[in-house]
Structure 1
Amino acid sequence: MITPLNRHKNILEFALSSLLRRRAKNLSLLGLYTMVVFVLASLIFFVHSLKREAAAVLSGAPEMVIQRQIAGRHDLIPLEYIEKISAIRGVATVEPRYWGYYYDPVFGANYTVMVSEARKLTPGNIIIGNGVARTQRISAGDMVTFRSASKNPLLLNVQELLNYESELVAADLILISGEDFQAMFNLPRHQATDLAVTINNPAELATIAAKIAERYPDVRPILRNEILRTYDSLFDWRGGMMTVILFSAILSFVIFAWDKASGLSAEERREIGILKSIGWETSDVLLLKFWEGTAISLTAFLLGSNLAYVHVFFLSAPLFAPALKGWSVLYPEFRLIPAIDFFQLAVLFFLSVVPYTAATILPSWMAATVDPDAAMRS
């Protein structure tokens, strides 16, 4: 007596042998199928990992940043605002931040220059990101020259390089002392770039931000969660842009796969007629075609997903990194920590495996319901 398990096993073996008899057609389909899954899975892995990396790096950012707005543009904020904002109930500390952008005409790159409160630097010493080091071709212990606000050379010593793990947001960063920052930009003495605010109770962030915006109409509170949402939107937009660019290729594959799956050749119709004539039931034929479609689509999904994993987490996604990291002279270079969005992977599975498998069953059912003699003569 044939058990259901043995029945499936026998049909699966016959399905694999049937695929091997038409290996040229099936291998070409499998290759294209794998390529499309590889591209889409790479985008999913890369975008999700960038989001997770950004969230990890920005976890140490200030809970709230206060910027002054003049005519809708970011402007310097007077230090007297510190006392006013500190008086609001629930505010723990208010610290001034000094940062700006320096354009390097030699390399055509923009650097972010910032006074570090966590790392007290003596005048004449700086800490730079890895992107700056690569662009300038310098390392720790080297001297580098910038131009000050008075157009005089500013000679600085590279004390150290920032951690490799922070390169996503610190590739273009230069940490500098307050005295050297003043010499480089000639910032007014009683003004700062913005203010970093710490709140006693994080649950009151939105409430306190609303109070600050109401009392001081010329300032704009920016919450850390808003920055994270901006990063998420940015990476989603870039990932979507890449998908749109590749849409024509994906659509061409879908049409090709549907045509191959839904159109039975004369040889396949004769094979179904022979199987029916020797006693196969219609359900057996449908099960056979189900396993054929599943074998191709599932193999393509597994191959594409594994190749995408290697491409993103071992090779740093060389195909998509320039477009998704940004367009700049200073491309951040870092290895992503493996992070997989299983929900999106499941969606990719159902969009890639299920439609193709279903497309193989309908024409097979139509051929299996035809008289065996007519099918063999076709």
Structure 2
Amino acid sequence: MGKSLNGDAVAPLRVGVVGVGFISGMYFETLRRIRDEVRLVRVADLDIERATTVGAAEGVPGGSVDDLLADPEVDIVLNLTIPAAHADISLRALEAGKHVYGEKPLTVTLAEGRTVLELAQQRGLWVGCAPDTVLGTGIQTARRAVDDGLIGRPIAATATMAIPGHEAWHPNPDFYYAPGGGPLYDMGPYYLHALITLLGPVARVSAAASHPRDERVIATGPRAGERVPVLTETHITGLLEHVGGATTTLTMSFDTVGTRAVPIEVHGLEGSLIVPDPNEFNGTTLLKVRGKDWEPLPVSAGYEDSARGFGLLDFHRTAAGDMPRADAGIAFHALEIMETMMTASVEGRRLDLGPAADRPTAVPLTSL
């Protein structure tokens, strides 16, 4: 039995997982750790045999998506399908009266995302979305440094993810190069959620994008040597103008051999921060102020020892009337940033975004 924020005993949140591919193992590990508060009760997959096998390994029923959605024991659907299926599964779950928490991105298109959020509002249900890496001690300690004024007024940031393509290690990398894939939609949410957490929402964007290669060659697994067509942009650079006045230069690429750039730097009038990798839950924040060298900051905020799935725990612990920190409103804002960047890259214009999402509340230093 878990505890609410006021200490009262509350029933565990019962989770049904749809999609038992590679990433599901990370969630299962977390759910085993937090089972007193957030408990796995069922799994499903298009491959029913695989779902049955995985379910047996986790000690829960495994089978079809329809069976999972019809199960009254499932409170919330953890949507771990491929991006192209995110909208369909989320809408079906909401129609079935289930809350939804999904992997990033929220959906492939902004129109799909809007439909999901509108249905959730109509049904009085919650939708959340990864990445929840921003809830860990890495990004939260950096945020506290910003909020405490250690760098003065924030004026700028850089965010860089520059790597070779996923075909170098992934045996089935096709969807990374299909619409809804590419480095921006694949890895961009980690960086954008971190930037929104650190500097607040974004008001307007401009961008340039390209795909220098029309196909990629799979390097590993049974399909090694097979060629995959590139149907989306694989190198994107954008300028994000935050509502608060800071600007971020964002580069996302599957076309580089490597880089020595740190994932995120934040600069203020009085100092600068090197922020931990937003794809990780922890890491060391470095601070430099005038006249001093870089020095590490002690961990001061965030969920300690967190991992994928802590967004569910945060939802379960959030008091009635408050907004869970992994709310899909942030993911929708990130999706709008990405989609508008791609439009700006085609039109060669600086484009305004819609109404900004609220910056999520900070996470105090919290242990299980």
Normalization by structure 2: what TM-score?
A: 0.21
Higher RCO (CA 8 Å, separation ≥ 6 residues): 1
Normalization by structure 1: what TM-score?
A: 0.21
Structure (1 or 2) with the greater strand fraction:
2
Higher radius of gyration, 1 or 2? 1
Structure (1 or 2) with the greater helix fraction:
1
